[in-house]
Structure 1
Amino acid sequence: MLTLDMVLAVISQPALMTILAISAGLAWPLGRRARPDRPRLGALFVFTLGAVLSATAITVSWRPSPVLIPSYLDGFGDPAYLVGEFAGSREKIANIGLFLPLGLLAGLLWRRPAAILGLLAALTFTIELWQAFIGRGGDAVDVVHNTVGALLGLMLAGLPTRLRPGRLPSP
């Protein structure tokens, strides 16, 4: 549930508001170029991408330091850490939900799910690396959850094609 405290926390961060404003300004021109035949969907994708970036790439206290990067990268070497307690907390579920709309919108815009999933996985890897650099503590588990969210979005985007009459097996 959205609370007044949440709204105030968002609007009180100038960097976050700047990225959102830039995303809103670029959404229509870039969205039209992404898919001229589906400009609204393209604009929604661009704005959603900007919202994800503003939520993940900003920190209140800027403390750039490469010290946290090795521990972030080490997380990828421990499979039990990556999948242990999968979706076991609100934060993990939120990470899935964060990238689900991007996967869904990208899947509706472009028909290359493997390429889209690879790009969104690379995006979340880069965001988490950035978070480690700025002192926000990037986490390899977040990359897994964000990528699963993107995959779920892509699967949802593909449902209309799979559910068309004639595509279902006959009894």
Structure 2
Amino acid sequence: MLDAGIIGNVVAQPRLLAVLGLTVVLAWPLGRLLGRGSLGTAFIVVVGAVLAATTTTRTPYYSLDGVEVYLRAWTGPAGLVHGFAGTHEKLANIGLFAPPAALATLLWRRPALIVGAATVLSFLIEAWQGFIGRGGDPVDVVHNGVGALLGAGAGFAIRAGYRWRDRKSNSRALTGAGSSTTGR
């Protein structure tokens, strides 16, 4: 839920606001560069918001020790799925990567590549969080990856629905055109 506490937390973080501001400034030109119009712009805005939320902190504490702790946490893979989606934070991590993956799938039609790229991005974001003192968590990578999978699946389903609708209307157009020529 978006409440006053969350809004206050966002406003009190100049780094987060800087990334969001940069996203707003760059969204339209980068979206046009993607060549997909408003869909490309929406993708840039969503990715910028994800980066703002995940790569900034109020008071960074730069240290490679946090990255080392994060990488060491990968040695216990059983803990990566324990309590899967059992908290609001875990569900938020799933939801965080679903929209960009859905938009990317609509843009580039490569769901498997998009899920892989989103998971690698999540891995790098979590390493960065370890570096800035937020504490990277491999469990977040798993949840972000599942979110990307669900988003890419939704994007794929939307594309399939459009293709089905287009084939159906093309079929009707061809049938209508054929019947008018046979009646002569």
TM-score, normalised on structure 2? 0.85
Instruction: Tell whether 2:18 aligns with 1:18.
Output: yes
Query: Equivalent residues in 2 for 1:91-170 (5 A)?
Result: 91-163=89-161, 164=164
In the aligned structure 2, how far is the partner of 1:161 from the partner of 1:136? 37
More helix by share: 2
> Any idea what SS the aligned residue of 1:41 has?
helix
Alpha-carbon distance, 1:31 to partner: 0.6
In the aligned structure 2, how far is the partner of 1:9 from the partner of 1:126? 24
Which range moved further: 135-144 or 59-68?
Answer: 59-68
> Any idea what SS the aligned residue of 1:77 has?
coil
Specify the structure having the higher radius of gyration (Cα): 2
- Give unmatched runs, 5+ long, in structure 2: 169-184
The structure-2 alpha-carbon separation of the partners of 1:161 and 1:62, relative to structure 1 and needing over 3 Å to count, comes to closer
For the 8 Å contact 1:75–1:141, the answer to whether it is kept is no
- Aligned partner of 2:13: which letter? Q
- Aligned partner of 1:25: which letter? V
Which range moved further: 99-108 or 74-83?
Answer: 74-83
In the aligned structure 1, how far is the partner of 2:81 from the partner of 2:146? 11
Alpha-carbon distance, 1:6 to partner: 1.4
In the aligned structure 2, how far is the partner of 1:5 from the partner of 1:128? 24
For the 8 Å contact 1:31–1:41, the answer to whether it is kept is yes
- Give unmatched runs, 5+ long, in structure 1: none
Query: Equivalent residues in 2 for 1:48-59 (5 A)?
Result: 48-59=46-57
In the aligned structure 2, how far is the partner of 1:89 from the partner of 1:75? 20
- Aligned partner of 1:101: which letter? P
For the 8 Å contact 1:75–1:82, the answer to whether it is kept is no
Q: RMSD across aligned C-alpha pairs, in angstroms?
A: 1.6
Across the two proteins, how many residue pairs are aligned to each other?
Answer: 165
- Aligned partner of 1:117: which letter? V
Alpha-carbon distance, 1:112 to partner: 1.3
Percent identical residues: 48
Q: Specify the alignment match of 2:174 in structure 1.
A: none
